[in-house]
Amino acid sequence: MSLKEEFVDLAKACGADLVGVAPVSRFAADDPVFKLLPSARSVIGIAFRILRGTYRGTEEGTTFYQYTTMAVENMEETVMPIALLRLSNFLEEKGFTASPQRRNQTIRQEEGGTNPEVAYDAISRGRRAENRMDFEAAAVKCGLGELGFHGALLTDDFGPFVRYVFILTDAELEADPIVAPHLCDRCGECARGCPGHAIDAATGRRDDWRCAAYYIGANGLKNPFMPPDAFKDFPDRLKIIAGEAEIDEERAKKIIDNIWFYPPAQHSYPCSICGRACDTACYRHLEAKGALKRKFARPFRSRAEWKFNLSDFEPNGGSNVL
């Protein structure tokens, strides 16, 4: 059994679903990979499925905690780090250096940006992440999948329902081919699916501050916990609730500070009320096309999408509280 076969077997035993290896020749000479481990010979991408069932509560409009805890917090803070450590130990036991790389969720990835998955006041206000790997680009170089229009990694098995980590190592493992893009057809469903219009319909670029506000439920039409008088001191409150307000960083912070309708998870992860509607829209599209390898007994969405009315938030409007 080759070193790679042993590694893949252990990765699967650690709960990983996909493993892809890129030789460092696929990375430019100034790539942070070489600052993190100058002797690196291989970059190993390890992807874990996000259970379809974790999106179910949002899809049903019933519980919103499970996606955040089981698909974000536990995967980022427990499942993937434990697997990374075991897999890195395995490589070092074989005499190779192994440098585990997980996302640093509380450091700005871009100047002026934020991470919508984490409370903005828990994110370092200092310099942005230096020498960080570009996770999306590295995942493609490792052959895990392709990048979709909205920037998410799309995989044949799970569509956008994956999270991933890396190990840099001086072991030379057999490379996997880069996947020729074939899943994303630029249908635009991801942009249309966002309740906050945070994804530019022309470029696919995500406005992270806009996303941060709508990720935690600024759109009242998709938030069963928002009281009818929400944002009562905001002159454009109905535009915010409809997902159509003008929002920059300062505005996003004010809006976020007025969203307290649902408790956060631990590790500064606010609860996702949008339930990653961009990804679920993409998933439904890929599923309907028959493009995904993993088949299920029932389609992800089997009835019309639930939604409240804007009039519920107008003075003397109906109540949307469940």
Taking the complex as a whole, how short is the minimal distance between the CB of residue 258 and ligand SF4, in angstroms?
17
- Least Cβ distance, residue 76 to ligand SF4 (angstroms): 15
Quote the least distance from Cβ 58 to ligand SF4, whole Å. 10
Q: Which stretch binds ligand SF4 (CB under 6 A): 9-17, 147-155, 247-255, 258-266?
A: 147-155
The reply to whether 199 sits near ligand SF4 by the rule CB under 6 A is yes
- Whole-angstrom CA distances from 162 to 45, 57, 170, 205 are 12, 18, 26, 20
Q: Which residues contact 316 (CB under 8 A, 6 or more apart)?
A: none
The nearest distance, CB 67 to ligand SF4, in angstroms, is 11
Q: Which of 14, 123, 194, 241 binds ligand SF4 (CB under 6 A)?
A: 194
Contact flag: residue 171 with ligand SF4 (CB under 6 A): no
Rounded to 5 degrees, what are φ and ψ at 49?
A: -70, 145
Is 116 one of the binding residues for ligand SF4 (CB under 6 A)? yes
Whether 8 contacts 19, CB under 8 Å: yes
Q: Rule CB under 6 A: is residue 274 a binding residue for ligand SF4?
A: yes
C-beta neighbour count of 241 within 10 angstroms = 25
User: Minimum distance from CB of 190 to ligand SF4 (Å)?
Assistant: 3
Contact 269, 74 (CB under 8 A): no
Pick from 160, 244, 258: nearest CA to 194: 244
Where in 205-224 is the site for ligand SF4 (CB under 6 A)?
A: 206, 211, 214-215
Considering the rule CB under 6 A, would residue 281 count as an interface residue with ligand SF4? yes
Among residues 276, 204, 274, 280, which one has the least CA distance to residue 243?
274
Q: What's the min distance (Å) between Cβ of 278 and ligand SF4?
A: 3
> Is 55 among the residues that bind ligand SF4 (CB under 6 A)?
no
CB nearer to ligand SF4: give 44 or 199: 199
Q: b or e along 252-265 (b: 16 or more beta carbons within 10 Å of the residue's beta carbon)?
A: bbebbebbebbebb
- CA 322, CA 64: separation in Å to the nearest integer? 13
Output the smallest distance, CB 148 to ligand SF4, in A.
3
Q: Which residue in the block uniquely carries the two structure tokens 């999270």? A: 163
Nearest alpha carbon to residue 252 among 221, 291, 210, 280: 210
Burial class (CB in 10 A: 0-12, 13-18, 19+), 124: exposed
State which residue, 22 or 190, has the beta carbon closest to ligand SF4: 190
The one segment of 6-14, 49-57, 142-150, 225-233 that binds ligand SF4 by CB under 6 A: 142-150
Among 20, 143, 145, 196, binds ligand SF4 (CB under 6 A): 196
* Position of minimal CB gap to ligand SF4: 148
Does 259 participate in binding ligand SF4 (rule CB under 6 A)?
Answer: no
Q: What is the CA radius of gyration of the chain?
A: 21
Q: Which is nearer to ligand SF4, 35 or 182 (CB)?
A: 182
φ/ψ (deg, to 5) at 165? -140, 175
Q: Is 237 in the site for ligand SF4 (CB under 6 A)?
A: no
270 contributes a contact to ligand SF4 by CB under 6 A:
no
| 187 counts as binding ligand SF4 under rule CB under 6 A | yes
Give 130's DSSP letter.
S
From residue 8, alpha-carbon distances to 3, 162, 208 in Å are 9, 17, 34
Q: Least distance in Å: CB of 31 to ligand SF4? A: 25
Q: Which residues would be at the binding site for ligand SF4 (CB under 6 A)? A: 116, 148-150, 184-190, 194, 196, 198-199, 206, 211, 214-215, 274, 276-278, 281-282, 285
